Structure 1
Amino acid sequence: MRRSSGTAPGRGRSRAANRSSSHGQFKETDGTAANNYNTLVQKIFGPMKTFERWDEPKASSAEAERQGERSPDKNDKNAGKGQGKDDDQWSVNCEDFNYELTVEDSDGRQNKKVKPLILKEGENLEISGKKFKLCSAMTGNYGFAEIIEEESKMPFYLHYETMVNSKKRKLKVGCQVHILAAAANRTHIIRLIQRGTDTSLHVRYFVTDAYGPTLSDLQSKRAYQKFTVGTATRLSIESLNAIEDLHAIGYVHRDIRPTSFIIGRGAFESQIYLINFGCVRKFRTKDGKIIPARSYAPFVSSVRYASRACHDRLECARKDDLESWLFMSVEFYHINILSWRSMSNLAEIRREKEAFMSERGARALRMDCLSLPPRLPSAVTEISSLRYETTPNYEALREIFKKHLETKSFKIRSKWDWISTTTAESMDNAARQATNLDPPKNN
């Protein structure tokens, strides 16, 4: 990736050699549709790499420590266990992401103070020999921007992170999630097309397919900010499927909320994807062993949807993603259903969540909102019974919402609320015709 010759005056082309590698995960059952779309993408980025098998080298202990949010507690015997030797075997090969960049001044001295990244909307970039135009500015240490390929007018998202003055290494973790999801053919995680580094702009990046609005955006545009019962129930099921996809590759999300789920664009606006992997954490090693919990973990989720364990500063596990998922799911039926929505005191919010996650509280909630699944108390009981190391019964939770669909005489494949009202405005008409595919099917 580099600025192309069409950039603003005074900004030269990149002189540094940039490294990049291409990847793909598009494996729907409709082979013709997949081939049509992949052919278009390959014309832009080159051949897609098939993820059949990955060699996963061990990382250094320093790199393992960088995966956490803080240094291990010297008094905590379990701190860092599983995040070292065994856990590093679960890391994929992202060695083309250079994390040891140092910048030299004109006199040859090393200098890590680099000006903040600022690329303005409308600037031109060159990736894989193709020219792209920025549809939004790139600023700050971490983020994403929409880019348009100038010849085909096809949209993509460019996710980036500065290579200096950035301690979290969020992009590398996100890249690992995308790659492992591709290798496992997980369809609820957006496709990663290419990754690389640009030493002239001091950024590492990866490119994904463009996607549509978040579930939060879609709900805010609805009358009374609520979905129909059919859409609310199906969203609960599809978002659960997406969370299960992430858990299947050994990660917990730790920030489940409506803004972490998006829909596809154009022909893929029926597909739900999980995004925002900046807070993900590994919970098991490659051989399936559960990584021991730390005695203390930072609060990393949003206050409204954080699990009780997160409030208690305990290590989050799969059960906590599901607890956050349940808080989110009931809001699909009624935006003001969570009693702590307008609260700011963490202790009071924690007490309200404790009441919610009781069978009595769930029954009372169901009586207040009859559009909720009648078996909501069963979902609360199922999630509350889970422990840190327990594998959740995803199918039991799915059945609670599927039965609700049957009771309401809705079909699992009926149209979403937004299908008849939204259009892919940002997708060029020619690109829409070229990508006239059926939505990808779930495994």
Structure 2
Amino acid sequence: MSSEEGEDVLPKDDEILKTKKDKYKVITLLGKGGYGAVFSVERQSDKMRFAIKCEKSSAVKKVLLMDCNVLKGASQIKSKHFCTVLDRAAVKDRFNFIVMKLIGKNLWDLRQDRPDGRFNLNTALKTASQCLVSIEHLHRFGYLHRDIKPGNFAAGQKETNEHHIIFMLDFGLCREFVNRKDGKDIRTPRTSAPFRGTTRYAPLSAMQQIDQARKDDIEGWLYMVVEWTSGGLPWRKLKAQDREKVLAFKQEIRNPAKPEALDDFFYNCPKKEFSRIMKYVDGLNYYSLPDYQFIYFCIQHAASANGCKDSDPLDWDPDHPYSGPIETPGDGKVIDLEVEAGGDDFSKRKDSTKKDKRKKNEKDLPEEKGRK
């Protein structure tokens, strides 16, 4: 299929999309990538606005099912940091889609809105804490994100009073790191793993094509937090294809013979606490269960040492005290989660699941008494 034909299969402005629950009118395109696109829509039953994430039926790699499995886990533990899948359907031979709540600007755009290109320390640490909690939640479901970056976290909408809450987004590069059938044992690392992520924030393991683990999501989180605290990373001018040069920078900041490199990395940051986090994460191995609460403690210590209060406002809402969640991450131990198997068509998969369950129930019940 040509790129033009690929674009033609996606929703058009004012198109009506039908599901078993409702109808949705397409309003406008919010963003797109290789998988498909995200649109704002209006639910016809009550005129409320939502977002739909579409995936072309022709897409080789299916990512929406991963979204559904991850968001199912979030719903199970009632996490505040993930959108809920409100509806889902397929448009035959064109695309699958899921319906979710609309959110606001991502953290990259919110930082770019600042006159000096960085968050103040209070905002930097509050957003760091929320993102850390969301990563711990994701790991609790048994998934790695593998693309931690500011563009994959966003504040909620002001209209729904969620603009102080940070949401984790985009699970297309996620990977299940446990074998659920074997009692949630950690999967054996591969001898080599293709690069996954974004060069600027990718952990050392990804850069060296080593299988990623929970520690690597936290390493990516630290690069992201340093960037919005300091205003930039030492390798910010390098491009995605300059992977070897970026890797050299990341190795240099860990070289005890070059303390000036670490000072440059932590410019404008609470160096004591951030250094402690990096040293701790670098000491973990593939199988390690990170101590998320220790990392959270380091962030909170930096906040108190620098006079940041729980009520201090965020940069994008300076006139109101902070009303977002103040929560400690859990222990990261993997919970039981019933995940869906792969399939090409949402509507067909959903119907077949119902049919399979119905057959199972009929078989189990006594003969006379002859959703998922």
The one-letter code sitting in structure 1 at the alignment partner of 2:304 is E
Structure 1 equivalent of residue 196 of structure 2: 300
Q: Is the 8 A contact 2:149 2:221 kept in 1?
A: yes
Q: Is the 8 A contact 1:189 1:273 kept in 2?
A: yes
Structure 2 equivalent of residue 154 of structure 1: 48
For residue 415 of structure 1, report the CA deviation from its aligned partner: 2.0
The one-letter code sitting in structure 1 at the alignment partner of 2:140 is A
Q: Is the 8 A contact 1:135 1:146 kept in 2?
A: yes
Structure 2 equivalent of residue 397 of structure 1: 295
Alignment partner of 1:121: what SS?
Answer: coil
Alignment partner for residue 65 of structure 2, among 158, 172, 177? 172
Change (3 A) 1:263 1:351: same
Alignment partner for residue 145 of structure 2, among 228, 243, 253? 253
Alignment partner of 1:227: what SS?
Answer: coil
Change (3 A) 1:121 1:441: farther
Cα-to-partner distance string for 1:114-140 (whole Å, 9 max, x where unaligned): 884132223333344644321224977
Asked whether 1:187 is paired with 2:84, we answer: no
Asked whether 1:324 is paired with 2:220, we answer: yes
Asked whether 1:218 is paired with 2:110, we answer: yes
Change (3 A) 1:145 1:343: same
For residue 441 of structure 1, report the CA deviation from its aligned partner: 7.1
Q: Is the 8 A contact 2:177 2:187 kept in 1?
A: yes
Q: Is the 8 A contact 2:254 2:262 kept in 1?
A: no
The one-letter code sitting in structure 1 at the alignment partner of 2:79 is R
Change (3 A) 1:195 1:218: same
Change (3 A) 1:231 1:373: farther
- Say what the alpha-carbon RMSD is for the aligned residues: 2.6
Structure 1: gaps of 5 or more residues: 1-112, 423-437
Report matched runs for 1:273-284 at 5 Å.
273-284=167-178
CA distance in 2, matches of 1:114, 1:385: 46
Q: Is the 8 A contact 1:362 1:377 kept in 2?
A: no
Alignment partner for residue 348 of structure 1, among 229, 236, 245? 245
Structure 2 equivalent of residue 416 of structure 1: 314
Structure 2: gaps of 5 or more residues: 329-372
CA distance in 2, matches of 1:193, 1:413: 32
Change (3 A) 1:358 1:202: same
Alignment partner of 1:398: what SS?
Answer: helix
CA distance in 1, matches of 2:234, 2:288: 29
For residue 420 of structure 1, report the CA deviation from its aligned partner: 3.6
Alignment partner of 1:186: what SS?
Answer: coil
TM-score (norm 2): 0.77
For residue 421 of structure 1, report the CA deviation from its aligned partner: 7.4
Change (3 A) 1:441 1:330: closer
CA distance in 2, matches of 1:233, 1:439: 13
For residue 155 of structure 1, report the CA deviation from its aligned partner: 1.4
For residue 233 of structure 1, report the CA deviation from its aligned partner: 1.1
CA distance in 2, matches of 1:349, 1:114: 34
Q: Is the 8 A contact 2:154 2:167 kept in 1?
A: yes
CA distance in 2, matches of 1:404, 1:277: 30
The one-letter code sitting in structure 2 at the alignment partner of 1:315 is D
For residue 294 of structure 1, report the CA deviation from its aligned partner: 1.0
The one-letter code sitting in structure 2 at the alignment partner of 1:283 is F
Q: Is the 8 A contact 1:366 1:376 kept in 2?
A: no
Change (3 A) 1:324 1:129: closer
Structure 2 equivalent of residue 135 of structure 1: 27
CA distance in 2, matches of 1:114, 1:228: 43
Cα-to-partner distance string for 1:80-133 (whole Å, 9 max, x where unaligned): xxxxxxxxxxxxxxxxxxxxxxxxxxxxxxxxx988413222333334464432
- The more displaced of 249-258 and 413-422 is 413-422
CA distance in 1, matches of 2:141, 2:260: 31
Alignment partner for residue 207 of structure 2, among 292, 301, 311? 311
Q: Is the 8 A contact 1:357 1:384 kept in 2?
A: no
Structure 2 equivalent of residue 271 of structure 1: 165
Alignment partner of 1:315: what SS?
Answer: coil
User: How many residues are matched?
Assistant: 313
Structure 1 equivalent of residue 333 of structure 2: none
CA distance in 1, matches of 2:134, 2:127: 10
Report matched runs for 1:75-94 at 5 Å.
none
Alignment partner of 2:28: what SS?
Answer: coil
Q: Percent identity?
A: 24
Cα-to-partner distance string for 1:407-432 (whole Å, 9 max, x where unaligned): 1221234321111479xxxxxxxxxx
CA distance in 2, matches of 1:114, 1:417: 40
Alignment partner of 2:73: what SS?
Answer: helix
